[in-house]
Structure 1
Amino acid sequence: MNFVGKILTVLICVLCVVFATMAVMVYATHTNWRQVVMGDPGGFPKGLNQQLEELKVEKANVEAQLLAASTSLKEEQVMRRDRLTQLETTIDELRLLRSQYETQIQNLKTSEGQAVVTMKSTQETLAKLRDEVETLRRDIREAQQDRDENFAESVRLADLLQQADVKAKRLEGEKIALGVDVTRQRDLLRVHDVNPDQDPAGMLPRVNGLVMAVAGSGVVEVSIGEDDGLKKGHQLQVYRTGGGENRYLGRLEVMETAADRAVCRVMPKFRTGAIQVGDRVTSKFD
């Protein structure tokens, strides 16, 4: 082998490694968009359709909670207003009662014998009134605190509802875009005569090679193998070039594969001529 032949051999090896690397990268970056949208039945993670349905259910639950909270808040406000009105009425009554007691005290001061007893009774009554007023004030503060907490809860639920609605709209848009993309990819596969529902693992890639050896029992060895995607059961076409024309010789069925070699059986039904070393093989004709 001369120097030029060695250079060509090294160049072919480098190109084979480059093409094999590119094929691995393309396969690694492939995404099954149908599975992303539809999901894996009984598997994880869930598809976008399932996530959208769950978000719709979550949105409905949040809306129901918001409605219940709003209704409860309105009822609570009415009850608190009624309670405040009653408390204010009670305070007015107590103030009137206290005024009456004070008047009585002034009247009782005219009598020395009854003044001490009346004063003590009045002081006790005033102490009770103060306790009652303090209790009423505490009840008012608690009512105001409950009102503020209910209002904050209603605001929080409204925010959750808004977030769920925005997320649902975003997922709906992604679903539509993915559906359009899946349709376009399926149409593109059909244009290239590829069944989009076929398992990619069973498809034969477009490869070309040469017949390296021919046995008398209808068995030949070709220069392509597992590294080129060839598997047992795949079929190859054999043809010979010469005189500016291609002559079809027959079809081969792969029996065994190695990294860069494969042993094939000549299919008698499709054989149209004698196969020789150097004849070309291909998986698909252009």
Structure 2
Amino acid sequence: MNLLGKSFSVLILLLSVVFMVLALAVNASHRNWRDVVMSDNGLKAQIETYERTNDQLREARARTQADLDRERVARRTALAALETKLSELTGVLSDSEKFAQDLQAKTTELAQLDRSRAEELEELTAEAAMLRSQIRKEQQDRDNLFAETLKLTDDMNSLRGIVQLQQDRNDQLLGQVTRYKEVVDAAGLNMNDPLDGSPPDRNGNVLVINRPRKLVEVSIGYDDGLREGHLLEVTRGGRYVSRLRVRKTEPDRAVAEILNDYSEAAILEGDRVDTTIE
């Protein structure tokens, strides 16, 4: 085999390799167009979607066309009415032209009247602006009154709740007083008679408060006639606050227990303490 034959053999081998690579590439990139068309998101499904969309658009177009036709009929009717009115106005205009000369003589007077009416219009415009401002102010005042009414209503409801609580407390205290009177009457006692061992009429102040233990320290003690078990009344500014029972006494001070059943408010340092309340 000469050189030319060897060259052709090599060339044929190279071309065979190239065509084999191309065939493999074509095979690898091959697509099943039927699957592409018939799949869920394929061309057929897209075409059906477009057809449904077109049908909906056609229906919408038909409805819009019907509305447009009705609107055209209504406009034709209105136009016919306007043409009739125009005919009437044309007749009126023809009659008015007959009096043009007489009206021309009154032009100056009408111009003066027009100027006066223009001035009146300006005044009315200014008055309307002022009235709008007053209306806005009245609306703002109304809104403020409404807000204040709501607040007062809430306050009134709160006060009603407080009154109800006080009424319930009053009824409870009235029942207790009635029960105490029944007990005193059953025992044959006179409520105005002094009790044996009752403390003398003394008063002082709350010095220290121990709220966790419900104890207070007061400024009157053994030398003032206080004894263990005596009851003390606590007031503030002439208003009843609570009741105490003496637990321990010293010469010039005493420790007393807070009786919660008789408490109307929280005891504060400096509150007045009395052995009796007149």
TM-score by length of 2: 0.31
